[in-house]
Amino acid sequence: MLRFRPIAWLLGVVASAGTAVAAPTGGPEGAALARTVPYLKQNQGSGAGEAALAGLALIKSDVPVSDPAVQAILDRIKGRFQGRGYTPERTAGADIYEAAVLGLFYASLDNPKSYRAQMDALMRYLLNKQNPNGSWDYPQRTNGDTSMSQYAVLALWEMAGSGSTVPPQVWDTAAGWYLSVQRPDGGWIYHTDEATMYTETISMTAAGVSSLLICLSQLHHRGGGTGTDTSKLLTPLEESTAQAGGPYRPRTSAAAIEAGTARGLACLGRVLPINSGANIGPSPFYALYGIERAATLAGVQSVGPHDWFAEGVRYLVGTQQANGTWTSQYGETVNTAWAALFLARSTAKSLKRKGLGAGTLLGGRGLPSDLSSMTVAGGRVVVRPMNAAVEQMLSVLEDPAAEDADAALAGLVERYQKDGPDALRPYKDRFRKLLTDRDPALRQVAAWGLGHCGDLDAVPSLIAALEDPREPPEVVEQARIGLQLLSRQIEGFGPPARATLPQRREAARLWRAWYESAPTPVPVGPR
Model confidence over 359-391: pLDDT tens digits? 444 444 444 444 444 444 443 434 567 788 888
Q: Alpha-carbon distance 384 to 427, whole Å?
A: 23
221 or 167, which is more confident?
A: 167
Q: Alpha-carbon distance 100 to 115, whole Å?
A: 15
* Interval 35-84: pLDDT, tens: 999 999 999 888 999 999 999 999 999 999 999 999 999 999 999 999 88
* Coil vs helix vs strand at 466: helix
pLDDT for 151 equals 97
Q: pTM of the predicted model, to two decimals?
A: 0.68
Q: Alpha-carbon distance 474 to 479, whole Å?
A: 9
Contacts of 332 (CB under 8 A, 6+ apart): 43, 325, 326
Average pLDDT over every residue of 77-97: 93
Read off the DSSP letter of residue 247: B
Domain 24-344 of CATH type 1.10.10.10: no
Report the phi/psi class of residue 250: left, alpha or beta, with left for phi > 0 and alpha for psi in -120 to 50. beta
C-alpha 156, offset from chain centre? 15
Handedness of CA 335, 341, 342, 347 (dihedral sign): negative
pLDDT band at 257 (very low <50, low <70, confident <90, very high): very high
Cβ burial, residue 510 (10 Å; 0-12/13-18/19+): middle
Q: Alpha-carbon distance 166 to 225, whole Å?
A: 8
Whether residue 12 has pLDDT greater than 80: no
Contacts of 389 (CB under 8 A, 6+ apart): none
Q: Alpha-carbon distance 155 to 168, whole Å?
A: 15
* Coil vs helix vs strand at 85: strand
The residues spanned by each domain of the chain are 24-344, 385-517
Domain 385-517 of CATH type 1.25.40: yes
